[in-house]
Amino acid sequence: MTSASQTVARKPQVQQATKPRSQSFAKGFNLGLIYLALIVLGITWIFPLYWMATSALKDDPQIYTVPPVLIPNPAYWNNFADAWTRFDFNRAAFNSVFLYAVPVTFFTLASSLLIAYGFAKIPWRGRDKLFWVCIATMMLPWQVTMVPLFIIFKNLGWINTYWPFVVPSLFGNAYFIFLLRQFFMSLPEELSDAARIDGAGELGILWRIIVPLSKPAMAVVMLFAFLGAWNNYLGPLIYINTESMQPLALAIYRMRTLALSMGTTALAYPHLMAVSTLVALPIILIFIFAQRTFIEGISTTGLKG
């Protein structure tokens, strides 16, 4: 009787010991599958960048070799300098940075901050209705407004200038207004009320209290705005006609079309990849160095409606 009762008492203990092991094995197996899927997806995203960068270090025989050459041997580092000076990309880089990307980024951030603060922290009649009208403009694709905007800017004499890109940025961006407004709504209202009691105006509250607390959200807006301006191709193609005014996106296209007009052998595919790598490099570096702030802004935006 005693041995039988001890055997029966041990069975639940064995089952309890086996169950956690099976659960931990299943959890580890599922986690391994998740990491495997992430690795595969990461390779699919990184490989095009790797191919672009390595193609810039090859010569024509290595480019057209079958099977493809994954590691250039030898590596032609002079392709970067030769490609950059081939079609005066210094002027195109100046246009992209100082005439287009930086002004558009700054004005978009400043105007979106003001509008989002008005929607989030200042009570006034019809505020929410007008906010939803602003959000509704996001449903209009740019292709729908492309022709009317071109006619307006042509009548204003802004063709072949950067005014069609800079001036609209002074009126904010609906998507960025939404992001900033949602972030502002997550900030305690007591901070603004305390500043008002101390005699601060709305602009003072925005500049001294809201802006220092909103750096993650502002980093997201700045990165997205700069990225959109830096990579914009169709807009400059429509409004910019002079070669000396072209940004980098149009300069790369001009390099390709001129090479094709001289024949396929003059395409200089390594040079094309070298310039494309140099143009993509600033965005990659910005994201790497601002990664923590960028991810924090994405994760904390939209917590409150």
174-196 residue pLDDT tens: 999 999 999 999 888 888 888 88
Cα dist from 259 to 84, 89, 254, 265, whole Å: 14, 15, 8, 8
Task: For the chain, give the number of residues.
Answer: 305
Q: Does any domain span residue 256?
A: yes
Query: Which residue's structure tokens are 């490989």?
Result: 47
Mean pLDDT of 247-257: 85
pLDDT of residue 298: 61
Q: Is residue 223 part of a domain?
A: yes
147 has pLDDT over 50 = yes
Q: What is the pLDDT of residue 104?
A: 96
Residue 1 burial (CB < 10 Å; 0-12/13-18/19+)?
exposed
Least confident range of 43-47, 113-117, 268-272: 268-272
Cα–Cα–Cα angle for 114, 118, 121, rounded to 5 degrees: 120
Quick check: is 64 in a domain?
no
Mean pLDDT, the chain, rounded, equals 85
Amino acid at 1: M
Quick check: is 75 in a domain?
no
Residue with the bigger pLDDT between 84 and 24: it is 84
Residue 210: pLDDT above 80?
yes
Contact 61, 253 (CB under 8 A): no
Mean pLDDT of 166-180: 94
Q: Are the beta carbons of 254 and 247 closer than 8 angstroms?
A: no
pLDDT above 70 for 98 = yes
Report pLDDT for 268.
76
Please name the residues in contact with 239: beta carbons below 8 A apart, sequence gap of 6 or more. 150, 153, 158, 159, 160, 161, 164, 165
Q: Is the pLDDT of residue 255 over 90?
A: no
ω into 74 cis (within 30 of 0): yes
Point out the least confidently predicted range of 46-50, 175-179, 258-262, 278-282: 258-262
**What pLDDT shows up at residue 160?**
93
| Domain assignment of residue 226, yes or no | yes
| Residue 193 domain-assigned (yes or no) | yes
Q: What's the pLDDT score for residue 54? A: 92
Statement: residue 243 has pLDDT above 90: no
Statement: residue 270 has pLDDT above 50: yes
Q: Does residue 36 lie in a domain region?
A: no
Q: Locate tokens 């055997």: which residue? A: 7
CB 109 within 8 A of CB 225: yes
| pLDDT for position 177 | 95
Report percent pLDDT > 90 for the chain: 45
pTM for this predicted structure: 0.81
Give me the domain span that covers residue 279.
82-300
For residue 86, tell me if it sits in a domain.
yes
Q: Is the pLDDT of residue 219 over 60?
A: yes
- What is the structure's pLDDT at 20? 67
Are 111 and 170 a contacting pair, CB within 8 Å?
yes
pLDDT of res. 16: 52
Number of domains in the chain: 1
Q: CATH number, domain at 113? A: 1.10.3720.10
- d(CA 145, CA 168) in angstroms, rounded, equals 13
